[in-house]
């Protein structure tokens, strides 16, 4: 399984970014997918999750600002981020759970300037 994130970058506070995660596994449609993030000096934390059935949940601080979505035909997961804040600065990771195994991407850096 290979997960490749992209779409990170530098953005001003209040701006938007769209992260993508391309998955190589053909079982993508049966996978539980999520985004996590890790800020410098902090633990990796949950951001958002979407089940194989399309049910989405979000960490409280991103509710109403971030939207997680998936395209099973393209084996792709997205995270649309809006109203970005400096505290959203982190490396964002894609996570896939398939057949009980957990896989992580290499991460993409998001930096929000004030």
pLDDT in tens, 40-60: 999 999 999 999 999 999 999
What average pLDDT does the segment 60-67 reach? Answer: 98
* Spatial CA neighbour of 111 closest among 90, 83, 82: 90
The Cα 80–Cα 57 span in angstroms is: 14
Task: Say whether pLDDT at 65 is over 80.
Answer: yes
96 burial type by CB count under 10 A (0-12 exposed, 13-18 middle, 19+ buried): buried
Task: Say whether pLDDT at 26 is over 80.
Answer: no
The Cα 62–Cα 51 span in angstroms is: 18
């Amino acid at each position: 399984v290979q997960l490749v994130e992209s779409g990170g970058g530098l953005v001003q506070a209040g701006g938007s970014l769209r992260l993508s995660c391309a998955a190589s596994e053909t079982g993508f449609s049966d996978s539980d997918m999520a985004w996590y993030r890790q800020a410098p000096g902090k633990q990796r934390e949950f951001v958002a999750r979407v089940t194989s059935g399309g049910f989405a949940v979000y960490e409280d601080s991103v509710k109403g600002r971030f939207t997680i979505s998936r395209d099973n035909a393209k084996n792709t997961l997205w995270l649309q981020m809006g109203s970005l804040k400096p505290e959203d600065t982190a490396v964002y990771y894609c996570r896939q759970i398939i057949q009980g195994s957990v896989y992580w991407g290499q991460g993409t850096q998001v930096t929000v300037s004030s």
